[in-house]
Amino acid sequence: MVRNTIEIIYKRELRNMINKIKYIGLDFQGILFGGLVRDEIIASHYRDLFFEKKLDINNYWNENYDIETKHRLLIPNDMDIYFNNQKNKDLFLKKLNLFINNFNGNIYVENRYSDKFKYINNNLNLNHTKIIACLSIGKTMTFKGFYLKFSIDIISNNNIDNIEPPFYNVDFLANTFIIEKINGISVMRLSSCTGTPIDTMNYCNKIKFANKILNDIINFNTYFVRNIYSKNRENINCHRIIKMIDKPDITWNILNIPFKIFVKDNKTNDIAECCCICLDDINKDDKNDNSKLVEVNTNKNKAYTLHYNCFLRYLKKEKYSTYYNEEIGENECRCPFRNPFNFKDCYNLVEYK
């Protein structure tokens, strides 16, 4: 019997595309790291919860079905992968090309080196290649189909032994896990090159701390721990924090930075102040923000509250700040009241136990 219709679910197809690219990379001894691994942890947890509840599998890809497990559909924005030699990187690109060509797609490769927002340790000479993989699915005589696009950052080297992501320069504890293939099996573990006290923990303590991080991740809690020195480190720190919090469907709670995001509810509807950016009443529900607020703790005397959207727009401008503090010999990012955020010191507020 010939089916008259074929259902194409965009997120399901994109998820399968990403999985295929992951498996190709792991087959050639690539190491996955960064946001993709973090999102895999979250999606796997809520996917398992979905099946534990014995819900209707036909509604798995329905975004409005069972809100408690909605993060089962979380899909990473991009992929970071590391190869420790050029041969494996070339084999990955060759196999990836074959896969993409099967769907009449294209791969765009751009060799680049970004000084301002790089996440690689200054002391390491690593190569960075940016790839955009594009393919088309569902094309018929009368329908042009769907266009899938996915970004891949490839880090590689030819002469550095005993190094792995995140290259002693992790930004958040939520990004300390990596995935690699060992004896044909995909394994997730804490990296040995985070640049934090995790690297020198004994096996038992590392396992216990890993479990704590995992529990934080699935509850969208984490700590900012980047501690690399450079003249513009606060600009980079600000950029990394914005990238973490500026997500449409997730509110990350970064526990050790000088501001916190929270959802407006009945308990917060009596805040007797206005947003210092737009000057509107905090309690007024309008286009600025009607669901989230930000409490900033850079003033010594008292914290102050702002609309989330107002604060985020401000922070995005501040990350490009060129304010130079001559006393410390580096750039600073400052709050709306012109006090320094001091993101560079946040790592001191983390307890590794």
The pLDDT tens digits of the residues spanning 285-307 come to 544 445 789 999 998 778 899 99
The three-class DSSP label of residue 76 is coil
Region of poorest pLDDT, from 20-29, 58-67, 74-83, 109-118: 109-118
The pLDDT tens digits of the residues spanning 141-156 come to 888 888 899 999 999 9
Q: Residue 35 pLDDT > 50, yes or no?
A: yes
Spell out the domain ranges in the chain: 10-221, 233-349
Region of poorest pLDDT, from 21-30, 195-204, 320-329, 344-353: 320-329
Phi, psi of 338 (to 5 degrees): 70, 25
**Terminus-to-terminus CA distance in the chain, angstroms?**
61
CA 213 – CA 207 distance, rounded (Å): 10
Q: Give the β-pairing of 78-83 and 31-33.
A: antiparallel
Q: Residue 207 pLDDT > 70, yes or no?
A: yes
Check residue 126 and give its pLDDT.
Answer: 85
Q: Residue 247 pLDDT > 50, yes or no?
A: yes
Report the 10 Å Cβ neighbour count for 249.
Answer: 9
Q: Average pLDDT for residues 16-28, to the nearest whole number?
A: 97
Q: Residue 116 pLDDT > 50, yes or no?
A: no
Region of poorest pLDDT, from 74-83, 266-275, 344-353: 266-275
295-333 b/e (C-beta count within 10 Å ≥ 16 → b): bbebeeeeebbbbbbbbbeebeebbeeeeeeeeeebbbb
**Beta-strand runs (E) in 297-342:** 304-307, 324-325, 330-331
User: Residue 225's closest CA among 204, 244, 205?
Assistant: 244
Q: Residue 113 pLDDT > 60, yes or no?
A: no
**% of the chain surpassing 90 pLDDT:** 73
Give the pTM: 0.92
Check residue 79 and give its pLDDT.
Answer: 97
Residue 165 amino acid letter: P
Q: Give one word for 183, left, alpha or beta, with left for phi > 0 and alpha for psi -120 to 50.
A: left
Q: 94 to each of 24, 90, 97, 184, how far by Cα in Å? A: 10, 6, 5, 20
Q: Average pLDDT for residues 192-214, to the nearest whole number?
A: 97
